């Protein structure tokens, strides 16, 4: 493994400025010049290597996001798509690994292996539960917001139709789930 990039040795705020410049389309020469102006002389090749590494990392992240969004479109909401994809993929891998063991095709499972497998399963189930709770909360908030909007719309319509305040209050209570 090679040595640490000289760009990574810069203070965090300067590194952030380099990334921002790259994202903004600045050339390598522009970045080298700007670093020199800030008192951090770096070679053109160092900036070029860093830009290449960043570009490759960004491309991989875009690929992961694209796969995660496609997965989410098939298997659920797009909220936390990458997390859902990881939980699903790890579950699939774990299942494929344990099936031969369950069928006694590969009885070579020591206590340590079993412990690690059980721990990984527990963590996956915990992640799935947290994800399901987050989805339920989002659905509940969306439902509550829809009820509030319906109550506001109904109040406006009832007022324009000349309904009494008591009637309007009853309508809003029913829509907001405040009355039986």
74-106 pLDDT, tens per residue? Answer: 666 556 666 666 776 777 777 777 776 666 665
C-alpha closest to that of 131 among 67, 66, 78: 78
In contact, 46 and 52? CB cutoff 8 Å = no
Instruction: Please tell me the predicted confidence (pLDDT) of residue 57.
Output: 82
Q: Would 23 be classed as within a structural domain?
A: yes
pLDDT value of residue 180? 42
46: burial class by Cβ within 10 Å (0-12, 13-18, 19+)? middle
pLDDT at 29: 94
Model pLDDT for residues 143-169, shown as the tens digit of each residue: 888 888 888 888 888 888 888 888 888
Please tell me the pTM assigned to this model.
0.43
Give pLDDT, residue 60. Answer: 81
Residue 97 lies in a domain: no
* 32: in domain: yes
166 within a domain of the structure (yes/no)? no
Does 94 map to a domain?
no
Q: What is the average pLDDT score of the chain?
A: 80
CA dist list (Å): 148 to 5, 158, 180? 54, 15, 17
Residue-level pLDDT at 126: 82
CA distance 32 to 18: 9
Instruction: Report yes or no on 66 lying in a domain.
Output: yes
Residues 6+ apart with CB under 8 A from 18: 7, 10, 31, 35, 47, 50
CB proximity list for 121: less than 8 A, separation 6 or greater: 94
Higher pLDDT, 119 or 75: 119
Q: How many domains does the structure of the chain reveal?
A: 1
What whole-number percentage of the chain has pLDDT above 70?
81
Query: How far, CA to CA in Å, does 37 sit from each of 21, 22, 25, 27, 33?
Result: 14, 17, 19, 15, 6
pLDDT at 75: 63
Residues 82/65, Cβ–Cβ less than 8 Å: yes
Inside any domain, residue 131: no
Residues of the chain above pLDDT 90, percent: 12
Residue 178's pLDDT band (cuts 50, 70, 90): low
pLDDT of residue 163: 86
User: What is the span of the domain harbouring residue 19?
Assistant: 1-74
pLDDT, position 47: 92
């Amino acid at each position: 493994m090679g040595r640490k990039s000289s760009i990574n040795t810069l203070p965090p705020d300067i590194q952030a400025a380099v990334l921002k410049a790259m994202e903004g389309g600045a050339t390598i020469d522009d970045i080298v010049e700007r670093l020199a102006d800030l008192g951090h002389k770096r070679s053109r090749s160092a900036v070029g290597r860093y830009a290449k590494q960043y570009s490759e990392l960004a491309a991989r992240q875009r690929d992961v996001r694209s796969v995660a969004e496609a997965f989410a479109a098939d298997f659920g909401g797009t909220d936390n798509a990458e997390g859902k994809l990881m939980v699903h993929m790890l579950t699939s891998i774990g299942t494929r690994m344990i099936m031969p063991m369950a069928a006694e095709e590969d009885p070579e499972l020591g206590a340590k292996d079993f412990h690690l497998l059980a721990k990984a399963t527990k963590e996956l189930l915990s992640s799935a539960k947290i994800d399901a709770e987050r989805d339920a909360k989002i659905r509940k908030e969306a439902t509550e917001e829809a009820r509030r909007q319906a109550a506001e719309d109904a109040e406006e319509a009832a007022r324009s139709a000349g309904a009494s305040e008591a009637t309007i209050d009853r309508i809003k209570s029913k829509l907001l789930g405040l009355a039986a």
